[in-house]
Amino acid sequence: MGLISDIKTIKRKDPAARHALDILLTYNGMHAIWIYRFTHLLWVLKLKLIAKIIASLARFLTGVEIHPAAKIGKNVVIDHGTGIVIGETVQIADDVLIYHNVTLGGTGNESGIKRHPTICTGAMIAAGAKVLGNIKVGAHAKVGANAVVLKDVPDYSTAVGIPAKIIPNEKSSGAVCSLANKK
């Protein structure tokens, strides 16, 4: 989950990424992920107030809000990160692509329970999408631009519209991943 891996992943997933220095200096989504990793470590070490203060500063600097308690896998790309909100109990697996103005949020105010989405391996969340509640977006599933997703999206399916409708493809089985997020 290092710097080199992050840069290679962005280069692979973003056709506008020109070279490593460009990515290193100008990709606010990547900067947000790096700061999140530090704040998550602080959170795990029970330095929660410090983690939240640094996360707030990161939001100011990058335009991306990631709660330090969220769990994010490797090779996650936040492309054009401005306006992204990732809630406290969100789980994001490996190789996920998230575009700007996405909300991975809760639907209630209970504490001590999982109230945010789980995004499975290889999923893509398009610009402006809202994925809300303790639901899963399946492996290699896609959420269309500005969709409002309130129920599970099966593996390899696409969710579009308000509220989102599920469009299966030939690989869809109706199953939703059982996220093996190692964090």
pTM of the predicted protein model? 0.90
Quote the pLDDT of residue 111. Answer: 80
- Alpha-carbon distances, residue 65 vs 4, 54, 62, 133 (angstroms): 23, 11, 8, 17
Instruction: Give pLDDT, residue 181.
Output: 41
Structure confidence at residue 182 (pLDDT) = 40
Q: What is the pLDDT of residue 183?
A: 39
Q: Which two tokens stand for residue 46?
A: 């029970």
Residue type for 165, please? K
Query: What is the Cα–Cα distance from 87 to 41, expressed in whole angstroms?
Result: 16
Distance CA 182, CA 167 (A): 29
In order along its 183 residues, the chain shows pLDDT tens digits of: 578 888 888 888 888 888 888 888 889 999 999 999 999 999 999 999 999 999 999 999 999 999 999 999 999 999 988 999 999 999 999 999 999 999 999 987 888 889 999 999 999 999 999 999 999 999 999 999 999 999 999 999 999 999 999 998 877 777 787 764 443
Q: Which of 48, 88, 58, 90 is nearest to 72 (CA)?
A: 90
pLDDT score, position 179: 64
Q: Compute the C-alpha angle 162/109/159, nearest 5°.
A: 20
In the set 40, 67, 100, 116, the catalytic residue is: 100
> Closest Cα to residue 124, out of 103, 105, 142?
142
- Catalytic, 116? Answer no
